Structure 1
């Protein structure tokens, strides 16, 4: 009864918690013209750190544009924006929050997209037999409705506009022909893709027939289909023959395709083979491909030499054995290896070309054992049975002694078994006597005592402090972090500041040994990450930061290890300075899209750029390539100074001039330099490219780079000479600086020191007012948690030197092949387009030849950004 009452109280308490959680704002229905912007909003009340998920038609939406704004301590608002609405964005949207396994949903809203018709079913290529009838289908929809469709076949209009969908019946054609359809509504006319009717024929023979040696007895055969005859290939036939001269044809092998490969097993080693292939579709078979020959590799012999005998004379010992057959040898014989043992010690092995060995000094081989094995290039085969060398008379005497020893050993075995039986009987009798005295009848005073084999402590003591040894990381990394290891008991975690795929960042209080303390930020790896490699990658970032000492680069305070119940590996926590104003990207977005937008002067924006450039110049001097520079990875401290942070993709380099990535990684492609996208090469100059993109982010107050360009289209966009456009409020001199960072030739980009000089001249030219410039903050808390308005003063030294700008993408002293690359990728050809004024008579200041470096072999960290795509290396 009491248990039932407790369960009832828990359920009532839980229901009260659920009833207190609710959406105070729901998304609203919107009808948007194609190409315009749509923005949806939700507000949730009742949790201090809710994770509000957006869904479209039941699928979660992942976007870096989602913002969270605090309305009060337990009241949050979030927005989801679509910058340029297309037909695929139409659908049903709502928000969800999960609380103890229960889902709380907002009211749904619909985005309806108006525009010219979009095709629901678009014409696809058709393959048909000559003269065979077939159907073509085209369907389009609005809004607005109604939508009518018209067919074009072979350049001729077929009928008139009819309501969508529309099926065109074609009686049959004898040659290839093109077709497409048009769709119209009140907004205009759309034209579908152009399809082709192909006539099915027999396929062509396979191409690129290649043999890959998987092992000594197995090979993998791969090939590529030739022209398929506009019909899917179903099977391929493989013919194999064996032998160097008169070939022996093996049975044909039929393989279902795709994939276009086959593994042959049970082939003979060190043998010649030839192979050819043909493939079939529903029309017929292709011709056979040309014969491709291959030779199977050698293998170690599969058998030991047989008939191993010896002859012993006064002068020499002669050993002989039978030669192996070629099937047993499985390669080219290098030698026969003879090993022998004398007095229990192995002697140096001997090698013989023939199957006979003659050894002088017969007396020294008495009582020695010999074995022989055949060897090829792939190794030696099994050993023969050992042979004991002794005179004939000794062998006869040994045989006689052998019989005597067998009898003696048998007698000894029988005596041993009888002795063991007697010992067991005596011990059992002793035990009966012992227990009879210990448990005597009542009234006798016989003490029985014992000593415990193990004592138990029923108290559960606090587990010992975790150490770096428990993480399974390499010794170099462990030694580097040993002096920055901080005890977990000195750390008190607070509210969450942000989270990602691999962990979260939390506000925390770090107490020192003298009981003083400071507010810090702690990066905590997710609790479900148990891989030593993931943990080691997290700590490598901390190892980089340990050596950083610069006002514009975030510094490491320490590393702590969080103990986990029933887990062998503790969770690493990286302790960093607390950055009051968060990351630069969010701060820029708040200035433009927050509930109380505020103005950021050009002087403040340039100061942000200067701070980043100074931090990056320091990193390059420490031989560090950042590889992930962006506004989201720059932090703002309480003095409004920017610190470069997040070194998860950084590389320490020691020699050479570049780092080349060698794995499949997810990287932020909209910030990556052209040569890094093309060749996976990263240098200080590729960091300069990313700095130019970060400047663009700052001038646009946090907009996403390349609006309207998909991640997969970035490389083609850049190789044509296209670059980020000049923002509306961006002065020409600032845009020229960022544009110079995007030269297609890496060494034509300015160094970070050059960028600092240019930005300092720009900053001084703005003539800052003598009084401090006020700047209002939104939702920025003081240490005591109260909202406050802060004053930011951006000061600098006036410099009378005039600004000196080089025209972007001009470069003195470059090689001729680099000039060609500069012209082509800058858009010199009119067919490519672009502004080619910059490549006529190249001139400008000398190149600041920065040191560029290569990797020291540290492993990759794979960052999961919403702006990332996979780059296959």
Structure 2
């Protein structure tokens, strides 16, 4: 048998590595000195399992340094990516909104600059987060405006469920002053939000000088809300809504009188707008002076295709299980069967003409919303306003015919009103005008735009002028003819006053309306 002798020197242990396969293995040990070798020990058999332990490689600190360096580099890269992502999100949301600049006086002034570019992919993702239908998203796609192109300003009016704000829209390097209608998304349901967007979509096809047109729809992100809030962008109307304008013409600092020609032009503008909508088979369902806007040229635009019920909630009444309805403007058949047609819009136009003739008074004074249907069913209608010609009141009465098909069309109404206007001499030119600018007082007192008010005062109980202006202030600038100037042209500026025999207590109440206080 082969033998291998290994000299271990002074070591007390030895590790033997067996490379070749062996069937049996034995170990013997002897000691040697300078005097000679000692005897061998007896052979000790060793099995292969006990032949020895595997070789243990010595650990290298070089590889440990490499692992640590790679780990640190990965952590730094992740931190950098997270930081860049957060900065990008902030830039998308605010778009480098503020730029500090030093004026010549040395004051630090912050100017707002609107970003002009946007990503349609971002809009699509935001629309998807609203949870609206695919059909509605498709209709909104071509009217979406990125929020970086829209800068919101001060609030022009606010109601329970929404508000109107002044804004600036960046369109191809041009800044356009706009009005922005918003919803208080926190208290509105998802279906109400979808209705809000549907009403905006229906406006995008309108193109008429007397119909409000849609500029766009924007989604404003809010960190406190789960999803963005939709806003509707409309042209800015310098003089606000027609109802507030008419109320202010009666309740300003000075008594004022508006020429009859101006009132008739308001009616004609509305009739033209409604004629255009009727030709498109569009049913408004909520025509009233509060839903008509005055532009810079004093032209009237039919507007607010449903949004006004969010802002003027006091004029709406919930009937049964239906939603809130403006019952004092709704046709008899609509109250009975909840059916709306072009003929029911004609009924509402008659009430709107009555509002203009009375310069913003509330229809059916003293009659509760819940009593309107029975009141109309008994044959009662709005009474002839003071200073209203019989021909004009006859035109109103035709709009309130019980049989819808017997009511005149908007084309017929527009022609009749134009004939009435042609019968008056041109409105007199006066060098003296009354300018009422309520913006500064409104900002000082924090008052919001009034949505409407009663217009009856008792003798000796006329409120303070400042209080009256506060209640009626709408934040717009109005130009009106003073009463003393208008009275010089009574023959051509006023409707002929016609008083009927008073047999109904309700009529008596209207005759004495200047001696009665009615709280609305």
Return the TM-score normalized by structure 2. Answer: 0.61
Question: SS of the counterpart of 2:266?
Answer: helix
Contact 1:781 1:788 in 2 (8 A): no
Structure 2 equivalent of residue 639 of structure 1: 297
State whether structure 2 residue 207 is matched by structure 1 residue 549: yes
- Cα pair distance change 1:781/1:637, threshold 3 Å: farther
Structure 1 equivalent of residue 159 of structure 2: 500
Question: SS of the counterpart of 1:714?
Answer: helix
Structure 2 equivalent of residue 458 of structure 1: 83
- Cα pair distance change 1:445/1:759, threshold 3 Å: closer
State whether structure 2 residue 143 is matched by structure 1 residue 484: yes
Which structure has more relative contact order (CA 8 Å, sep 6+)? It is 2
Deviation of the 1:603 alpha carbon: 0.7
Deviation of the 1:637 alpha carbon: 0.5
- Cα pair distance change 1:789/1:630, threshold 3 Å: closer
The CA deviation string for residues 241-263 of structure 1, in whole angstroms up to 9 with x for no partner, is xxxxxxxxxxxxxxxxxxxxxxx
In the TM superposition, what are the counterparts of 1:553-572 in structure 2 within 5 Å? 553-565=211-223, 567-572=225-230
Structure 2 equivalent of residue 714 of structure 1: 372
Structure 1 equivalent of residue 332 of structure 2: 674
The CA deviation string for residues 299-330 of structure 1, in whole angstroms up to 9 with x for no partner, is xxxxxxxxxxxxxxxxxxxxxxxxxxxxxxxx
- Cα pair distance change 1:643/1:540, threshold 3 Å: same
Contact 1:496 1:506 in 2 (8 A): yes
Question: SS of the counterpart of 2:155?
Answer: strand
Question: SS of the counterpart of 1:628?
Answer: coil
Structure 2 equivalent of residue 689 of structure 1: 347
- Cα pair distance change 1:763/1:471, threshold 3 Å: same
State whether structure 2 residue 36 is matched by structure 1 residue 437: no
- Cα pair distance change 1:729/1:710, threshold 3 Å: same
Question: SS of the counterpart of 2:165?
Answer: strand
Counterpart CA distance in 1 for 2:291 and 2:418 is 23
- Cα pair distance change 1:790/1:713, threshold 3 Å: closer
Counterpart CA distance in 1 for 2:133 and 2:394 is 46
Deviation of the 1:573 alpha carbon: 1.2
In the TM superposition, what are the counterparts of 1:46-65 in structure 2 within 5 Å? none
Question: SS of the counterpart of 2:234?
Answer: strand
Counterpart CA distance in 2 for 1:689 and 1:525 is 29
Deviation of the 1:541 alpha carbon: 1.3
The CA deviation string for residues 421-458 of structure 1, in whole angstroms up to 9 with x for no partner, is xxxxxxxxx9xx99x937x6xxx875441554881323
In the TM superposition, what are the counterparts of 1:723-742 in structure 2 within 5 Å? 723-742=381-400
| Greater fraction helix | 2
| Greater fraction strand | 1
Contact 2:261 2:427 in 1 (8 A): no
Contact 1:583 1:633 in 2 (8 A): yes
Question: SS of the counterpart of 2:363?
Answer: coil
- Which runs of no fewer than 5 residues in structure 2 stay unpaired? 1-53, 93-121, 309-318, 441-474, 482-506, 508-518
Contact 2:283 2:341 in 1 (8 A): yes
Deviation of the 1:770 alpha carbon: 7.8
Question: SS of the counterpart of 1:681?
Answer: coil
Counterpart CA distance in 1 for 2:188 and 2:269 is 37
The CA deviation string for residues 47-88 of structure 1, in whole angstroms up to 9 with x for no partner, is xxxxxxxxxxxxxxxxxxxxxxxxxxxxxxxxxxxxxxxxxx
Contact 1:590 1:778 in 2 (8 A): no
Counterpart CA distance in 2 for 1:471 and 1:566 is 15
- Cα pair distance change 1:695/1:446, threshold 3 Å: closer
Deviation of the 1:481 alpha carbon: 1.7
Question: SS of the counterpart of 1:535?
Answer: helix
Counterpart CA distance in 1 for 2:177 and 2:247 is 25
Deviation of the 1:676 alpha carbon: 0.8
Contact 1:580 1:780 in 2 (8 A): no
1:755 corresponds to which of 407, 413, 437: 413
Deviation of the 1:697 alpha carbon: 0.5
State whether structure 2 residue 197 is matched by structure 1 residue 539: yes
Counterpart CA distance in 1 for 2:247 and 2:439 is 18
Question: SS of the counterpart of 2:202?
Answer: helix
Counterpart CA distance in 1 for 2:252 and 2:151 is 31
Contact 2:238 2:476 in 1 (8 A): no
State whether structure 2 residue 368 is matched by structure 1 residue 745: no
Contact 2:256 2:480 in 1 (8 A): no
Counterpart CA distance in 2 for 1:742 and 1:538 is 30
Question: SS of the counterpart of 1:580?
Answer: coil
Deviation of the 1:462 alpha carbon: 3.7
Counterpart CA distance in 2 for 1:605 and 1:701 is 9
Contact 1:497 1:506 in 2 (8 A): yes
- Cα pair distance change 1:678/1:567, threshold 3 Å: closer
- Cα pair distance change 1:779/1:624, threshold 3 Å: same
CA RMSD of aligned residues (A): 3.2
Question: SS of the counterpart of 2:164?
Answer: strand
- Cα pair distance change 1:776/1:446, threshold 3 Å: closer
Deviation of the 1:702 alpha carbon: 0.6
Counterpart CA distance in 2 for 1:727 and 1:474 is 47
The CA deviation string for residues 641-688 of structure 1, in whole angstroms up to 9 with x for no partner, is 0111110179xxxxxxxxxx9962110110111111111111111100
1:511 corresponds to which of 165, 170, 175: 170
Aligned length: 346
In the TM superposition, what are the counterparts of 1:776-815 in structure 2 within 5 Å? 776-779=434-437, 789=479
- Cα pair distance change 1:474/1:781, threshold 3 Å: same
Counterpart CA distance in 1 for 2:380 and 2:476 is 47
Counterpart CA distance in 1 for 2:128 and 2:295 is 34
Deviation of the 1:605 alpha carbon: 0.5
Deviation of the 1:786 alpha carbon: 11
- Cα pair distance change 1:544/1:777, threshold 3 Å: farther
Counterpart CA distance in 1 for 2:238 and 2:230 is 23
Counterpart CA distance in 2 for 1:730 and 1:532 is 45
Counterpart CA distance in 1 for 2:245 and 2:224 is 41
- Cα pair distance change 1:445/1:518, threshold 3 Å: closer
State whether structure 2 residue 288 is matched by structure 1 residue 630: yes
Deviation of the 1:479 alpha carbon: 1.7
Structure 2 equivalent of residue 410 of structure 1: none
Counterpart CA distance in 2 for 1:447 and 1:631 is 80
- Cα pair distance change 1:769/1:682, threshold 3 Å: closer
